[in-house]
Amino acid sequence: MSRPKLATLWLDGCSGCHMSILDMDHRLLELAEHADIVYSPIVDTKEFPEDVDITLVEGAISTDEDVAKIKLVRSRTKILVSLGDCAATGNIPSMRNSFSTDEVLERTFVENTTTNSQVPDEGLPKLLDTVIPLHHLVKVDLTIPGCPPPADVIWEFVTTLLKGKTPELTIKTRFGK
Ligand code: SF4
């Protein structure tokens, strides 16, 4: 029987959710014994593969590139999981939603800089008018709340899924041991 394929994706998030994945420490090796980690910032794969069993997604959707990525990943994933509050609700990235994209770019590249103050006219993905959580654009099967979710919670969640069961986010799993 082929091993399950596991992936993680990093959209508009601070990387804290992936830091929690790394915080699983030696358990990452145990995870690698039970599943193939086929795509992630922590492995060197350029193309998101076909037929992925589980994908954990960190971050909200903020740009046209994010839209293209999450649609592709959704089409190639059986179980799509929102990992953390940015993916689930928009959280920190959505704080810009009170402002226009022009105001955000001006604030970032002009007002808050001391040298070379100008909005780049190339090399940046196009910002969406508003930041949205994953489920506003694609079907999300499960969510792991938290900012970031603790490593113990991610571990329990993923290992339960790999056993073919549906994880339950009890108080214990949501807030750690
Ligand atoms: S949920 Fe928190 S830790 Fe995760 S990407 Fe968002 S801000 Fe960072």
Ligand 1 atom showing the smallest separation from residue 58 Cα: 5
Rounded Cα gap, residues 60 and 11, in angstroms? 6
Residue 48 · residue 73 · CB < 8 Å? yes
Rounded Cα gap, residues 58 and 83, in angstroms? 5
Pocket-testing residue among 58, 62, 143, ligand 1, by greatest number of atoms within 8 A of Cβ: 58
Structure tokens, 168: 């339950």
Helix (H) or strand (E) holding 87: helix 85-89
- With a 6 A CB cut-off, is 91 part of the ligand 1 pocket? yes
- With a 6 A CB cut-off, is 13 part of the ligand 1 pocket? yes
Q: Is 104 helix (H, G, I), strand (E, B) or coil?
A: helix
What percentage of the chain carries pLDDT values higher than 70? 95
Ligand 1 atom showing the smallest separation from residue 15 Cα: 5
Please write the tens of the pLDDT for every residue from 109-162.
999 999 999 999 898 999 999 999 999 999 999 999 999 999 999 999 999 999
Mean pLDDT of 87-116: 96
Residue nearest to atom 5 of ligand 1 (CA): 13
Q: Domain 5-96+129-175 falls in which CATH fold?
A: Rossmann fold (3.40.50)
Domains of the chain, residue spans = 5-96+129-175
Model confidence, pTM: 0.94
Instruction: Give the per-residue pLDDT at 169.
Output: 75
